[in-house]
Amino acid sequence: MNKQFRIAQKTGLMFRDDEMLPEDMNAWIQSQLQVASPALGLASSYADVAQWPDDLQPDLSRRASMWRRYRDLENQSREGKNGQETQAARQANRHENLTGKMDEHKFVQRNVYGADQVKLRITAFWANHFTIGNTFDTSQMIGHAIDEGILAKLNGSFADLLYGMTTHPGMLTYLDNVWSAGERSEQAKGCARRPDCQAGLNDNLGRELLELHTVSVAAGYTEEDIKAAANVLAGWGIDFSEELSQMRKKAGGTDHWNAYKKRWAEPGSKKVMGQSIYAGRNGLRQLTDFLASHDATIHHISTKLCQHFVSDSPNTEEIEAVKIVWRESEGDLQLIHTKVLELAVNNPDAKFIWPMTWLFQVVRLSGATYFKGWEKIHDYDNKLMHTHKVFEELGQSFWSSRQPNGYSDDKDEWMSAEMFERRVRFADAIYRNGNPRQSAKEIMDRIGASNQTRALVASVGPSWRDRFIALMCSPELMGLDYV
């Protein structure tokens, strides 16, 4: 594979068939980190690329309002109220108001048609690091967290990213923090006097904040540290389905990304990993800033970045190089990402590609139109699969009901016969239904495919379809070799 496509495969999403190839790849990577990131896609299945309409990208307040309406109509229809009128409204609401599915579709189209392919790859890394699984009401918030909590903050500091994702309503809901009350909080004391009231401390987010998002278990924190972190987090977040009047009463406002229920908060200072954290809502920022600059956090995440972009088995020198930049820049993400991408360019090793990333790269390389436009998202009368079905079949989706540790970068976990067979079926479906503009030969010539890949493609016979499948499922296109 030539240098341009090798770098794009490791650090981005491959060049689309209609894109001009940059001559200076180092300059290209630098420009990619600065390029604007509008949500791009197709209006219909075969339309020109355009920006997604603003009305299909609602803010949190609008999402909460839509979700409350959806749940009310669902409840009414189950209870048999208002007869046909409610049933009709319920069907219309399902059609127009499933924000999570629309977000998922926007994510797909953005990754296929976006000009900011490197930023989108980095966004996927952080979306996996800060996992928000699809539970309770979180499907309505995951897309917002990816766009506004991660992509919009890629050129800031890790401390800002950590605090923003920790306080995002999607994270607070997913890990049950919206229902967590400090052990000595006013809410807990009041509930103790009422047999119909339950209030207690939930340590899910406190545990994942330490174990997965920052220092990792290698830091040697204790269960007491987890409990203390949970008490710092107590009071943060509000149930997404709360009416605005109740939200104002509990949190003093209607900003879902800044909802803090003082009555639920644990009074007094706390101590986490030897660090004294003061009381009140500002204590959480003190805690996340402390964790963001901790040596164990720097080592843990530098290693993850290198494993995702540089090599399946990065060496100590590469990891240390990222750690040095992290410390010297005080967690400047732009400088950290620049160093990681520089290492990826200079490391000759192949890097295994996630199934989700592989699918985007195949569609971009071939010029296929494999996903519906936003005007056709509810149209079942064609051959293009719905986005959630695509991800379900791939076995990888940021909108799935997954575990907090995210998807593995260990290629052995993705190399079963079943997972490979899924890629074969997708390559077949893309060829049959996506109308690729590039043949296997044209793609191989453009990317500078290896002799081994060319021989593999030739070995399947003269069928253009079989050759397309063989190329897309070749070791070279899956990031297994560059021979």
Helices (H), 186-332: 186-192, 204-208, 223-233, 244-251, 282-292, 295-309, 316-329
Q: Which helix (H) or strand (E) holds 60?
A: helix 60-79
pLDDT at 76: 72
What is the domain partition of the chain in residue ranges? 1-118+351-483, 175-349
The closest alpha carbon to 408, from 74, 209, 131, belongs to 131
Helices (H), 150-222: 158-166, 169-174, 186-192, 204-208
Per mean pLDDT, which range of 78-82, 155-159, 383-387 is the poorest? 78-82
Q: 333-346 vs 158-166: helix axis angle to the nearest 10? A: 110
Q: Per the structure block, which two tokens stand in for 281? A: 């809502």
Question: Is the predicted pLDDT of residue 85 greater than 70, yes or no?
Answer: no
CB 118 within 8 A of CB 124: no
Render pLDDT for 342-377 as a digit per residue (tens, 0 to 9): 999 999 999 999 999 999 999 999 999 999 888 887
Render pLDDT for 420-451 as a digit per residue (tens, 0 to 9): 999 999 999 999 999 999 999 999 999 999 99
Render pLDDT for 113-132 as a digit per residue (tens, 0 to 9): 999 999 999 999 999 999 99
Q: What is the rounded distance in angstroms from the CA atom of residue 320 to the CA atom of residue 299? A: 8
Average pLDDT for 383-401:
86
CB 253 within 8 A of CB 259: yes
pLDDT at 280: 95
Q: Which long-range contacts (CB under 8 A, 24 or more apart) does 314-321 make?
A: 314/343, 314/347, 318/343, 318/347
Beta bridge partners of 271: 276
Pairing of strands 275-277, 270-272: antiparallel
pLDDT at 89: 59
CB 14 within 8 A of CB 117: yes
pLDDT at 77: 66
Q: Per the structure block, which two tokens stand in for 318? A: 């590469």
Render pLDDT for 196-249 as a digit per residue (tens, 0 to 9): 777 799 999 999 999 999 999 999 999 999 999 999 999 999 999 899 999 999
